[in-house]
Amino acid sequence: MYKKDLELQRKWVRLLVEIGDAVGKRPKDLNSTLFLIGVQELGKGPGNYTKEEKQDLMHIAICKVLSYSGYYELEGLDDQGWPHWKPTKKLPHFDLLDQEKLLKMHVLEYFEKEYDLKIEL
């Protein structure tokens, strides 16, 4: 494992611990963390979401975090308050591991920018 990959993994684990301390339950993985971000960005709080709504919440989170690099832009909210995003530039072709790394880096950036959370090692 490269030094940058190891540092990313350490920051990621630290973030999961920080989230767990804040919400009372530690997210298991990237998907559960994206779900939490989606719920936060929707702004309606915890609830009973359908499978389709859970997928939509994860999509909201992915768009939000990738907006930091200019891949998505918020178009606005629909009549039920759900945010809609539009792609603004094409994502590079990555294998699954690189996709996960990109998302983790942006999730870390999300918590730094939105919650002023600095992940120290």
Nearest CA to 91 out of 75, 77, 106 is that of: 106
Is the residue at 97 inside a domain?
yes
Residue 91 confidence (pLDDT):
92
Q: Is residue 30 part of a domain?
A: yes
Q: Examine residue 121 and state whether it is found in any structural domain, yes or no.
A: no
- List, in sequence order, every beta strand (DSSP E) within the chain: 72-77, 83-87
Q: How many domains does the chain have?
A: 1
**What pLDDT, on a 0 to 100 scale, did the predictor assign at position 1?**
59
Does a structural domain hold residue 120?
no
Domain of residue 105 covers 3-115
90 versus 117: which is more confidently predicted? Answer: 90
Q: What are the pLDDT digits (tens) for 19-58? A: 999 989 999 999 999 999 999 999 998 899 999 999 999 9
